[in-house]
Chain A
């Protein structure tokens, strides 16, 4: 039961480095308060001279590259990533994409823009993958919850964007290789899903509202990679689940359970959207009592 964590200590060291630099490596892509860390005294709505912007950008870039990025590119494996073959060409292509689609809100050097978008330093390519492949980013505007949309970029472009973001700030990355596991672990995946995920996403993956307008989305359209990216990066208000807490194998078991849950047909007729007693109550009142009323009207009617 005592599984020594080989990545843990290194991660701790890394955390300290980051803290010393005033940066936060694993803050989610939309963490609003993080931005103020990157920019201690933001001046809202006031346009700064271009040179200052460039200077501060360069400063941030330097710090990020020197401190965080360095540490992360060395130790990013703690989140299950392995040495991928990210070429400089990918990173350059990613920068191009970033500069056209993301720069307005996340800043030239991922430092974030006050009142528009958070810093992306350290969010990792998993977060980029989740946000962009589900179409949540690029967002039209700020909302309590970004809805799922059609993605704006191709899979390759998303990888390039991810490579670029990771090259600057590091952070959790998606693992390579197959995510498929045997159905033998279906039950274990189910147990873990109910313990860790069902509270918000529901035992049938329908999603649920959170406080004050926020919500946990339905898992219906989510792909394996997207769910995994969400577990690793903890987008928006979702907690992150590191590989030490839920092992990569356990995560794959959860993915398998979620997909099998969505794909399995209902044995008992129409699933009523798998909402449970609320839809059942609607059915009995509208269909059941409704049909009964028609019948008794017919029985009581005189011809």
Chain B
């Protein structure tokens, strides 16, 4: 405090009214009361009573809303029922919301109204004292800091400085090593393979199945039909590694099959008019599965990348840069019925790009 208002002694203060002492305190804090007025100088006036009643009734209403909240909370049914049964559960949460909202909002409005209409009106000016004018303080504190450094002898003892730096570095690094070391997992070639990778249990190729485990037969799909299929191995449909395997099997409409412009070396990866692509978008990994069976475009719903299926799912619009990886299809015959198998894994990493990917 800069002492613009020299502190009065205790005896003087005790002689003051509460208000005077308060103002004295404010002055001591650099806060100057420029205006202070009771909003209702005449006590018990009609206007004052009206203002008081307004605040009080808000508080009472708030309390009533609280009581109603408790009643609703306890008494109203809230259990979900399917359509066809009573849908009354739908009133539970809204009722709670209205009542809780009323309880809190009315209390809040009451408090503000109280402050605005009943509390003593004030206008104060506070000195900031934020210009660093304490030159001596700065000098003394600075000297203390610098002399401390000299007391330790650090400027002269470079050996200690350096060795301490080493120790500090070690102490700072070890927790980091513990944290990262514990969390780190080697990616290796994980991202390059899916569960369609060759598996000794299935010498004829990985069976291709639906989400319910049924095997996929060429007869299943109508022309223009699609199916989300999975590798028929353990954990292929559900499992920690199944995120990379979802595959979109497409049966082109007749006539479309001839138009396929396959990428180099992938021309025979179709099976008749069936093609299969990874469902995982090469942009950000969403399942790109909005297939337009007439225009043969495949759209990803997350960022609107569009792939042309007839050109081996080449990206034709949007932010995706790479074609959807294609899965080679083959058919094996079991008990006279034909079923799809994947004779080999995807030949490139599925999903979004990453640094190690060429």
Contact = CB atoms under 8 A, between A and B. Distances in A.
A–B touch (CB < 8 A): the answer is yes
Interface in A216-275: 216, 234, 236-242, 244-245, 259-260, 263-270
Interface string B56-92: 0000000000000000000000101011100101101
Given A7-B219, A242-B222, A303-B116, A210 B297 contact: yes
Contacts of A268: 93
Nearest to B337: A4
B137 interface: no
Interface string B201-219: 0000000011111110111
B255 to A, nearest CB: 6
B127 interface: no
Interface string B27-41: 000000000000000
A3 B293 contact: no
B219 A267 contact: no
B291 interface: yes
Interface stretch (B11-19, B175-183, B224-232): B224-232
Interface stretch (A19-27, A56-64, A89-97, A98-106): A19-27
B295 A24 contact: no
A34 B294 CA distance: 10
Interface stretch (A46-54, A109-117, A157-165, A195-203): A195-203
A198 to B, nearest CB: 9
Given A5-B219, A266-B90, A237 B80 contact: no
A27 B254 contact: yes
Query: Which of under 10, 10 to 19, 20 to 34, or 35 or more describes the interface residues of A?
Result: 35 or more
B88 to A, nearest CB: 9
Given A26-B223, A32-B294, A237-B292, A244 B299 contact: no
Interface stretch (A8-16, A65-73, A146-154, A280-288): A8-16
B253 A27 contact: yes
B293 A240 contact: yes
Contacts of A239: 224-226, 250, 291, 293
B211 to A, nearest CB: 6
Secondary structure call for the A interface: loop
Nearest to A37: B255
A154 B333 CA distance: 47
B299 A234 contact: no
A3 B217 CA distance: 9
B97 interface: yes
B87 A265 contact: yes
B221 A264 contact: no
A267 B153 CA distance: 71
Contacts of B117: 303
A234 B317 contact: no
Contact of B287 (A7, A79, A199): A199
**Which of B211, B213, B301 has the most A CB atoms < 10 Å from its CB?**
B301
A11 B338 CA distance: 14
Given A186-B82, A199-B289, A2 B93 contact: no
A1 interface: yes
B294 A24 contact: no
Nearest to A233: B222
B139 interface: no
Contacts of B306: 211
B187 interface: no
A175 interface: no
Nearest to B339: A2
A135 interface: no
B335 interface: yes
Contacts of A7: 219
Contact of A1 (B83, B209, B295): B209
B290 A24 contact: no
Contact of A31 (B226, B287, B289, B294): B294
A214 B255 contact: no
A167 interface: no
B53 to A, nearest CB: 17
A83 interface: no
B220 interface: yes
A259 B82 CA distance: 11
Contacts of B80: 267
Interface in B143-198: none
Contacts of A12: 219
Contacts of B140: none
A280 B122 CA distance: 41
Given A27-B224, A183-B82, A263-B83, A1 B215 contact: yes
A27 B253 CA distance: 7
Contact of B225 (A2, A240, A299): A240
A267 B90 contact: yes
Given A5-B219, A12-B219, A245-B220, A269 B213 contact: no
A210 B290 contact: yes
Interface string B284-312: 00010111111101010100101000000
Interface in B222-269: 222-228, 250, 253-255
A247 to B, nearest CB: 9
25 contacts: A2-B215, A8-B217, A24-B255, A26-B253, A27-B253, A28-B293, A31-B253, A31-B294, A195-B228, A196-B227, A196-B228, A200-B301, A208-B301, A210-B290, A211-B317, A214-B292, A214-B295, A234-B224, A239-B224, A239-B226, A239-B291, A244-B219, A259-B83, A264-B82, A299-B112
Given A244-B221, A303-B117, 17 more contacts: A2-B215, A4-B337, A31-B253, A33-B294, A37-B255, A211-B292, A236-B294, A240-B224, A242-B225, A245-B221, A264-B82, A265-B83, A265-B87, A266-B90, A267-B92, A268-B93, A269-B94
Nearest first, the 9 A-B pairs at minimum CB distance are: A8-B219, A263-B83, A237-B292, A244-B220, A265-B90, A240-B222, A199-B289, A265-B87, A239-B226
